[in-house]
Amino acid sequence: MGKTLEKIVRKEDSELSDQNQLILYNDDVNTFEYVIDCLMEVVGHVQEQAEQCALTAHVKGRCPVKSGSFTELKVLFDELSHRQLSLTIE
């Protein structure tokens, strides 16, 4: 298999695997309460889990909030981005 094809196959495999993570980043714009509410409403976190994610992102600069397939996480990413949270899918 050529190197180009291998890269394409590996990229597709990673996009379809359950090994992707939705990462929340700290920002200086949104309040803790707002971030917690967003995580509860969109991701389905319980209060304590959302609070822990918000605190971890604040202290460490980032926090994985959900693992899953790229397709599943993209829906959450789009909604949370629409709500002005800073995120990536890795």
Supply the CATH number for residue 40's domain: 3.30.1390.10
Q: Mapping DSSP to helix (H, G, I), strand (E, B) and coil, where does residue 2 land?
A: coil
Query: Looking at residue 16, what is its pLDDT?
Result: 52
The average pLDDT across 6-32 equals: 73
9 lies in some domain? no
Q: Which burial class, exposed, middle or buried, applies to 39 when counting CB atoms under 10 A from its CB (0-12, 13-18, 19+)?
A: buried
Q: What is the DSSP letter of 18?
A: T
Answer whether residue 83 is part of any domain. yes
Q: State which amino acid sits at residue 54.
A: A
The boundaries of the domain holding residue 69 are 18-89
Average pLDDT, the chain: 87
Give me the residue label for tokens 């700290």: 26
Residue 7 has pLDDT above 90, yes or no: no
Indicate the range of 14-18, 24-28, 29-33, 62-66 predicted with least confidence.
14-18
Percentage with pLDDT > 90 across the chain: 79
What pLDDT does residue 10 have?
Answer: 44
Q: Give the contacts of 9 (CB within 8 A, at least 6 positions apart).
A: 1
SS3 category, 64: strand
